[in-house]
Amino acid sequence: MLPIIDIHRATIYRGDTCVFSDFSFILREGEHAAILGPNGAGKSTLLKLLSGEVHPMPLDETRMRLFGEECWNVWDVRKRIGIVSHDLQRDYLIGAEGLNVVLSGFYASNDTYEHQEFGQAQIMRVHDVMRELGIESLAGRRFGHLSTGEQRRFLLGRAVVHDPSVLVLDEPTSGLDVKACFQYLDLLRAQIQKGKTVLLVTHHLHEIPPEIERVILLKEGKILTDGSKSALLTDDQISTLFGRRIVLAQANGWYQTLPG
Ligand SMILES: Nc1ncnc2c1ncn2[C@@H]1O[C@H](COP(=O)(O)OP(=O)(O)O)[C@@H](O)[C@H]1O
Ligand SMILES: [Mg+2]
């Protein structure tokens, strides 16, 4: 299968902090994966690398290919990857109307603007997406007046409206109550059923849907292990990852952490 994301020997700084040193990672089409790691592991930085907000150091050994292309243009990539991050939710313009939040996905912008042009097909697509995500009745509501869960669903709509092949999500259900969390995971699973490749970065095991088979344990910018969920989601591996004793509970392909 075609590697969608191919990061080879990247070194990445945020300010004075070296978050990744000689970091490599490959994700292939159709290979759903969860990058699991404690706070500060580098999960959000990795997301920003994919969205073009941070860049690797220009070292000789470093190579980064997205969708098989070396010289990728940020705007082309944003068309092919749908990203839902917490930074986006925090920074999104609170005055934007719901419908426009979804519409803004066509330009990967944080509201819609006068110079942007939208066709009838795009408006119809926005309505289809809102219906699919159960947010059509909120189309006229301003972003700042939506609940956290509703905002998250609008941002998912924004991420999928242009039908990218890959969805990348940062802790998709944090801040949501149990019902909103499970509703959101259902929506995510529906995207997987539709053929999207999903990459999740998170420290919550409970938000890894059964369809995600590959997990990458990330700590302090280093991949500890990378493999199948059944092999890696064990009490010992997760205790090592988070640096304290943890026991895992498991039901129907879902996992939960408990204090050990
Ligand atoms: N803007 C920044 N300036 C300096 N250091 C940063 C910045 N953003 C993140 N870091 C540091 O980079 C490391 C990784 O952060 P981050 O990618 O946000 O981790 P995670 O999402 O896994 O919690 C942390 O040590 C964090 O303090
Ligand atoms: Mg983070």
Q: What is the pLDDT of residues 119-159, one digit of tens each?
A: 899 999 999 999 999 999 999 999 999 999 999 999 999 99
Q: Tell me how far the alpha carbon of residue 175 lies from the centroid of ligand 1, in angstroms.
A: 20
CB count in 10 Å sphere of residue 212: 20
12 pLDDT band (50/70/90 cuts)? very high
pLDDT at 255: 98
Please give the average per-residue pLDDT across 101-121, as a whole number: 85
Residue 48 alpha carbon, nearest atom of ligand 1: 17
Q: Whole-prediction pTM value?
A: 0.94
Q: Where are the domains of the chain?
A: 3-259
Please give the average per-residue pLDDT across 36-44, as a whole number: 96
Q: Which ligand is nearest to the CA of 14?
A: 1
Which amino acid is present at 72?
W
pLDDT at 71: 64
Q: Tell me how far the alpha carbon of residue 170 lies from the centroid of ligand 2, in angstroms.
A: 7
CB count in 10 Å sphere of residue 184: 21
User: Best of 18, 45, 46, 202 to mutate for ligand 1, by most ligand atoms within 8 A of CB?
Assistant: 45
Please give the average per-residue pLDDT across 65-73, as a whole number: 82
Residue 203 alpha carbon, nearest atom of ligand 1: 22
User: Best of 11, 14, 83 to mutate for ligand 1, by most ligand atoms within 8 A of CB?
Assistant: 14
Please give the average per-residue pLDDT across 81-104, as a whole number: 89
Ligand 1 neighbour 44 (Cβ under 6 A)? yes
- For ligand 1, atom 5, which residue shows the shortest CA distance? 14
Residue 46 alpha carbon, nearest atom of ligand 1: 17
Per-residue HEC secondary structure of the chain comes to: CCEEEEEEEEEEEECCEEEEEEEEEEEECCCCEEEECCCCCCHHHHHHHHHCCCCCCCCCCCEEEECCECCCCHHHHHHHEEEECHHHHHHCCCCCEHHHHHHHHHCCCCCCCCCCCCCHHHHHHHHHHHHHCCCHHHCCCEHHHCCHHHHHHHHHHHHHCCCCCEEEEECCCCCCCHHHHHHHHHHHHHHHHCCCEEEEEECCHHHCCCCCCEEEEEECCEEEEEEEHHHHCCHHHHHHHHCCCEEEEEECCEEEEEEC
Please give the average per-residue pLDDT across 73-98, as a whole number: 85
Ligand 1 neighbour 172 (Cβ under 6 A)? no
What would the CATH number be for the domain defined by 3-259? 3.40.50.300
Q: Which ligand is nearest to the CA of 45?
A: 1
pLDDT at 214: 98
pLDDT at 46: 95
Instruction: Check whether 74 has a pLDDT greater than 80.
Output: no
Lowest mean pLDDT across 63-72, 168-177, 208-217: 63-72
pLDDT at 57: 96
pLDDT at 56: 95
Instruction: Check whether 203 has a pLDDT greater than 90.
Output: yes
- Cα separation of 174 and 86, whole Å? 9
Q: What is the mean pLDDT of the chain?
A: 93
